[in-house]
Amino acid sequence: MTTGIILLNFGEPPEPDREVVVEYLTNIFFNNADLEDADTEEEALERSRQLANRRAPGLIEEYEEIGGSPLNPQSHAQAEALEAALEMRGHDVETYVGMQFLEPYIDDAVEEAYEDGVDRLIGLPIYPLCGPSTNVASLAELSAAVDGYDDWDVSLQEVNGWHSHPTYNRIRAEAITTYADDNGVDLTDEDTALVFSAHGTPTYYLEEGSRYVVYVEEFCEAIASLVGVDSYELGYQNHENRDIPWTEPDVEEVIEGVDAERVVVDPVSFMHEQSETLSELDEELREDAHDVGLEFHRVPIPHDDPRFGDLLADLLEPFVAGFDGEYYGFRQCQCRDEPGTMCLNAPQKPADE
């Protein structure tokens, strides 16, 4: 049996090319079109184009500042590390990368797996903290793409949220402590504030039942405990392109209210360096911190930690090897309530159920 693994990701323009940036933004806005009322799909697409063209100049400027996004090559490096880790364990697999909003699209990855003759396919979003427009949407897109091949007898296994995996928590905690040690920062000093910065989400999704904020809060509490910090702040990086409410508080507001001499910012919901870290945090948030007299530190994303390959292999090994995922703590996902979608986030059922 030939096993293919598709790592699902966001995607970002590698260069500040206007046409590519507008395509990317249009795809994002259209993916979230239900945040606004539109009578037809055509109206929703036109509105997405309008928003994309309005946002594009600022984002192009960000990409020019950072030299384009490194997200794509970092994603492919993680896929290669996963494949190598599974092969070391005796599993013969092919890995693919599928992006939601830019090439290589999820459809492209599925087509490649189809042409390779894969007869078992596993999809894993590289978003540890499950959200509706990331994890849930990418898995739905993967399933739809697979269903488009009538002549392909392939089984599909969906694996969802996994922020509670111990190795992942250890990697993220050690990234903070290593950075602090290397830069002479005492995380327990009362003049040092630890601030977790998470990608924001429209509150519409929370009202619809998304547990994203619950996952973010429990993850931050765990990481703070692992690094030995009793108090910390949490803020959200919100993209208010539409006139709708987003998660609170904004990380900029958090920084303005910090009562300390220095701040250490950890981007908890990111698996790669990208515009949200290299520009929004390293440039814009740093300036906000300096404006209120704060020394600013930002923890790098440990995207290339040598343990990542084995971490991802741990997540997928039950489904590659063919044993019950519940043995490793996986349960039926509630965020994507499709039979067989497994995650580490779902609450344990009582013993009598």
Residue-level pLDDT at 352: 44
Please give the average per-residue pLDDT across 59-80, as a whole number. Answer: 96
Run of H or E including 276: helix 275-278
CB 87: neighbour CB atoms within 10 A? 12
Residue 311: is its pLDDT beyond 60? yes
Q: What is the pLDDT of residues 190-228, one digit of tens each?
A: 999 999 999 999 999 999 999 999 999 999 999 999 999
Residue-level pLDDT at 82: 98
Which band of pLDDT confidence, cut at 50, 70 and 90, is reported for residue 77?
very high
Residue-level pLDDT at 298: 98
Residue 90: is its pLDDT beyond 70? yes
Give the global pTM. 0.94
- Strands 233-237 and 120-125: what pairing? unpaired
Reply yes or no: is the peptide bond before residue 300 cis, omega within 30 of 0.
Answer: no
Contact 159, 122 (CB under 8 A): yes
Please give the average per-residue pLDDT across 152-173, as a whole number. Answer: 97
Q: Where are the beta strands (DSSP E) in the chain?
A: 3-9, 93-99, 120-125, 155-158, 192-199, 233-237, 262-267, 295-298, 331-332, 342-343
Closest alpha carbon to 329 in 173, 144, 102, 161: 161
Closest alpha carbon to 16 in 49, 51, 57, 48: 57
- Separation CA 26–CA 51 (nearest Å): 7
- Separation CA 199–CA 239 (nearest Å): 9
Average pLDDT, the chain: 95
Residue 55: is its pLDDT beyond 70? yes
One-letter identity of residue 331: R
Which band of pLDDT confidence, cut at 50, 70 and 90, is reported for residue 351?
very low
Lowest pLDDT segment from 95-104, 163-172, 254-263, 340-349: 340-349
Burial tier of 249 (Cβ tally within 10 Å: 0-12, 13-18, 19+): middle
Closest alpha carbon to 46 in 34, 58, 60, 29: 29
Share of the chain above pLDDT 70, in %: 98
Provide the token pair at 220.
Answer: 């931050």
